[in-house]
Amino acid sequence: MASLTNAFNQNMLDRIMPPFGTKRANIPVWNEGQKMFIISEYESATGHLYYRGVRFCDRIVISEKVGLYYNWTYIDAIELYVFNGTRLELVQTREYKKEFRDEGLIRRDSETMVKNYLNGVVKSQGLNMSSQQIEVQARELVEGCYKSFLDADYNARLMQILPAIEQR
């Protein structure tokens, strides 16, 4: 096995990537390919795998429910949360029926959900904000959620919300 420097020693390797039969340390999993944390992974009695993918910025949280059946990856639902202090409030949901997971679709639908939420708030509060402004705001918020955890300036403090999402 290739050896690594002190920064990543055998002890850390065993915690992160343990040998078969050894419990892995409970560390959140960042999936760079999908730009989200993987949480709440479970296997059904019929042998299908499900997990939740979570991405967030300092204002919103987007949670995906993903299902793996045979060779296929399906998107089962998207949820949009906003912060209320340190708590999360569910403000939009969208469910899918037998829809293949597609990165572009997730992003477009996330933007639409944020837009719908903002539209609702603007209308109910009688605020003055054009639909164009809302659209730009929604796009920027979703864009912020796609920031990579691997980036040097990622706000790691936000990871504190992961356990709260996991409990939902």
Give the per-residue contact string, 7-26, with other proteins (x = CB under 8 A; - = no). xx---x---xxxxxxxxx--
Shortest Å distance, C-beta 129 to other proteins: 35
Tell which one of 10, 43, 89, 133 touches other proteins (CB under 8 A): 43
Intra-chain end-to-end CA distance of the chain, in Å: 40
Tell which one of 52, 55, 65, 101 touches other proteins (CB under 8 A): 101
Tell me: does residue 73 bind other proteins (CB under 8 A). Answer: yes
Tell me: does residue 90 bind other proteins (CB under 8 A). Answer: no
**Contacts of 138-143 spanning 24+ positions with Cβ under 8 A:** 138/111, 138/112, 138/114, 139/111, 141/57, 141/59, 141/60, 141/114, 142/60, 142/62, 142/107, 142/110, 142/111, 142/114
Query: Whole-angstrom Cα distance, residue 1 to residue 40?
Result: 31
Tell me: does residue 46 bind other proteins (CB under 8 A). Answer: yes
Query: Whole-angstrom Cα distance, residue 76 to residue 95?
Result: 6
Q: Which stretch binds other proteins (CB under 8 A): 70-78, 91-99, 122-130, 132-140?
A: 70-78
Where on the chain is the footprint of other proteins (CB under 8 A)?
A: 1-2, 4-5, 7-8, 12, 16-24, 27-34, 38, 41, 43-44, 46-49, 51, 68-71, 73, 101-102, 149-150, 156, 159
